[in-house]
Structure 1
């Protein structure tokens, strides 16, 4: 099952996506320019193999809901996200505001 929900913060709308998979849940919150994701995101792959795409993304681990992902500190970020001021340890919502 897939749930898609709008999330509004400071007049901006983000899209939360929750995909229920066997024994796990995939969580993503996206802006127009970038996204944050649960531990399934491979930041190393984005930085190394897909560097030319300049992807703005961050990863939070240990989250089980979109609400937790929104508030959780980012454990890792892409080089491109760092270039716009996103930092490891920053709450997901703060990073998404920079990515919007």
Structure 2
């Protein structure tokens, strides 16, 4: 099953995407500037091989729902996210608000 729906955080609208896969879920919350995602996100790939794309993203591990993703501390972030003040350990929803 795939779910796509808006979420509002402090009057800012983001899009949540949840994809139920066998034995796991793929979770993303995004806006036009960047996104946070579950452990499936390869921050190393974005920072190294796709650096020229300047992707703003963060990764949280061990989350199973969008709600958990919003409340979890990010385990890693891209270099471009760091440029916006998003750092390892920041809570997902706080990272998203820095992407506005």
**What TM-score comes out, normalization by structure 2 length?**
0.98
Aligned residue pair count: 100
SS of 2:63 mapped into structure 1: coil
Is the aligned partner of 1:21 residue 2:21? yes
Residue 41 of structure 1 aligns with which residue? 41
Unaligned runs of 5+ in 2: none
Is the aligned partner of 1:85 residue 2:85? yes
Runs of 4+, deviation exceeding 6 Å? none
Whole-Å separation in 1 of the counterparts to 2:31 and 2:94:
12
Unaligned runs of 5+ in 1: none
Please report the RMSD computed on the Cα atoms of aligned residues, expressed in angstroms.
0.6
CA-to-aligned-CA distance 1:59-79 (integer Å, 9 cap, x gap): 000000000001100000000
**What TM-score comes out, normalization by structure 1 length?**
0.98
